[in-house]
Amino acid sequence: MQLLCQIDTPDYDGWKKAFDADYEERMQAGLSQLQIWRDADHGSSVLVLFEVNDRKRAQGWITREQGFGGAMTCTFLETV
């Protein structure tokens, strides 16, 4: 199972620094980063694809991240 998150951030560099510092917390949530994409035209939108090892822990991570107030939407995906 994968998780695709879209994050809207006006400060990509600041977001990326905080995201990199959060590595251990994501690992504890059962998430492995697969890919990051950035909006080539505006730079204010980021897509992150994760491999999900534990959906319940991943959902807890999403809830905590959304609690910081930034615009973030996430979708769990299955290969069919």
pLDDT tens for 27-77 read 999 999 999 999 888 778 999 999 999 999 999 999 998 877 668 999 999
The overall pTM is greater than 0.85 = yes
Mean pLDDT, rounded, for 11-24: 92
- Where do the domains of the chain lie? 2-77
Q: What CATH code would you report for 2-77?
A: 3.30.70.100
| CA separation for the pair 38, 69 (Å, rounded) | 20
Per the CB < 8 A criterion, the answer to whether 77 and 2 are in contact is yes
For the segment 16-31, the average pLDDT, to the nearest whole number, is 95
Check if the beta carbon of residue 46 is closer than 8 Å to that of residue 7.
yes
